[in-house]
Structure 1
Amino acid sequence: MNRLHATKDFWLAALRADGPALLNAVEETGPDPAAADLTAHLTGLLSWVRATVARGSTDRPSPDSPAPAPVSTEWPEALDVLRRELTGTIETLEALDPDFPAWNWAPQPKRASFWHRRIAHEISLRRWDAEQAAGRATPIETKLAADGVSEVLDTWLPAGRRQGSDDLRGVVHLVATDAAHEWFVRLRGPGIALLDTMTILDSDDHHARAKATGTASDLQLALTGRKRVDQLAVAGDPRLVQALRTG
């Protein structure tokens, strides 16, 4: 696995780029049920993140506190509320040091940097969804997408948010053709390990049993269920790649 060194400034820059593009695409397709559902979901999520991350606590928040902001059912107002929540979330995250204590749902340090990264990827993926609905989806920016692949492998899957089969064993080799990045992932049935090939210390066979190649954007979109695995160049057992999908 190549090491990625994304930063708070990088993730905020991605948010500032993808946020307006998301709003434009949602405005173009709405008001329809899909656009309304996406708007409501993101409004509630961003409201919750703004209130939760700024607490300065690593304790799990109670299910009903803080409550998400109410979401209007009237389309023009709902879109305006989403626009304000997005702006407010960027301001909130910008004010927080990456090491500021903040709860998250993954097995990793409870710091605000988790949310700088998570919200940048949430908005970029939802921007793609909205543009796809509008018939004009554009790829996720290459470096952001490469970090998004790593987020799936180092955050979503270890947190148990895996949608693929959990009874397969083998090594998957992912290659981002446009980002000079590659990842090796070992599946051990329900277990999963992201390998650093420079520091392998055990005696297991590390030869890949499946290899998936594509742009960083296509890899991230496939791992998050937005593109089919067969839209990548896959060698070996495609079920192993399918097993890495999350949602």
Structure 2
Amino acid sequence: MDAHRWIESVEADGRELGRLCRERPDTTVRSCPDWTGADLLAHAAGFCRTLDGLFAGTREARDPAIVVPPSEALQTYDVDLAALLRLLRETDPGTRVVNWSVLEDDAAYWVRRAAHEFAIHRWDAATTGDGEPAPLPADLARDGIAEFFEAFVATAFAYGFMPPNEATLVVELTDLDETLREDLPRPGPTTTIRGTASDIVLAFWHRRAPTDFHVDGDRAILEAWPHI
């Protein structure tokens, strides 16, 4: 995926997240039951403002995210999202911007991260309603799976946040007719999961149970799937 597609996704999901959260500010987010719609909107606004500080060089990568009160976010979110979109569009992807992962410190990292942050949280916002949220687009979900391993899992292993395993996860994406293999972090016995790209990335982020997609091999890896 390229920066244009990521930014397009941020805009679409960011707007939908805002609409849903303002429609149901007091409703529990079923996928994140500690939050209401207003809390989720505040989290998204804080993400926008945190990136502004990182791009400006006034914040460090491991500084806590900016906290926005829910009552304030209900008033300012559209401004926060518009500012983020301008920032992502106007910054050269190669510009140095620090991040907390083992990946390159550049703006492109955050353009991609923003796309997946808003994609997952748009899905969360839709759980304030009664129906099933619309799935993530397949191309975005496939890239989200890659980002999960390249940024989050690799960093967790590099800094000792996750114990190393001699195990391999095989991911069969039914809607893309594609099979992925990820060592955790060393190759070993395989555990296979199968589902759409959207279902799998949501399972990695515990929006769905990882064990629901198990088809073969040791289930223990999925039963102990980390909260990263």
TM range (shorter): 0.7 to 0.9
Alignment root-mean-square deviation, CA: 2.7
Q: Higher helix fraction: Structure 1 or Structure 2? A: 2
Is the partner of 1:210 in helix, strand or coil?
Answer: strand
Q: 1:48 aligns with which of 47, 50, 68?
A: 50
Q: Determine the structure 1 residue equivalent to 2:182.
A: 185
User: Unpaired segments of 5 or more residues in structure 2?
Assistant: 28-34
On the 8 A contact 1:177/1:214 being kept in 2, the answer is: yes
- Between structure 1 and structure 2, the one with the greater Rg is 1
Q: Determine the structure 2 residue equivalent to 1:235.
A: 216
Is the partner of 1:31 in helix, strand or coil?
Answer: coil
Q: Determine the structure 2 residue equivalent to 1:27.
A: 22
Q: Determine the structure 1 residue equivalent to 2:82.
A: 87
Task: Give the 3 Å change call, closer, same or farther, for CA 167–12 of structure 1 in structure 2.
Answer: closer
The yes-or-no answer on 1:170 pairing with 2:187 is no
The separation in 2 between residues aligned to 1:53 and 1:37, in whole angstroms, is 25
The separation in 2 between residues aligned to 1:94 and 1:157, in whole angstroms, is 28
The separation in 2 between residues aligned to 1:184 and 1:246, in whole angstroms, is 20
User: Unpaired segments of 5 or more residues in structure 1?
Assistant: 1-5, 194-203
**Bigger relative contact order, structure 1 or 2, given CA contacts below 8 A and separation 6+?**
1
Q: Kindly, what percent of the aligned residue pairs are identical?
A: 26
The yes-or-no answer on 1:119 pairing with 2:114 is yes
The separation in 2 between residues aligned to 1:87 and 1:159, in whole angstroms, is 30
| Aligned pairs for 1:5-84 within 5 A | 6-32=1-27, 34-55=36-57, 60=60, 63=63, 68=66, 71-74=68-71, 78-84=73-79
The yes-or-no answer on 1:211 pairing with 2:192 is yes
* Code of the aligned partner of 1:156: F
Task: Give the 3 Å change call, closer, same or farther, for CA 170–26 of structure 1 in structure 2.
Answer: same
Please give the per-residue CA displacement for 1:122-175, whole angstroms capped at 9, x wherever unaligned: 00100101101223311011100000011111100112189x973643211011
On the 8 A contact 1:168/1:240 being kept in 2, the answer is: no
Shift of 1:186: 1.6
Is the partner of 2:156 in helix, strand or coil?
Answer: coil
Please give the per-residue CA displacement for 1:12-52, whole angstroms capped at 9, x wherever unaligned: 11112211211122122213451222122221121010121
Aligned length: 218
Shift of 1:233: 4.3
- Could you state the TM-score of these two structures normalised by the residue count of structure 1? 0.78
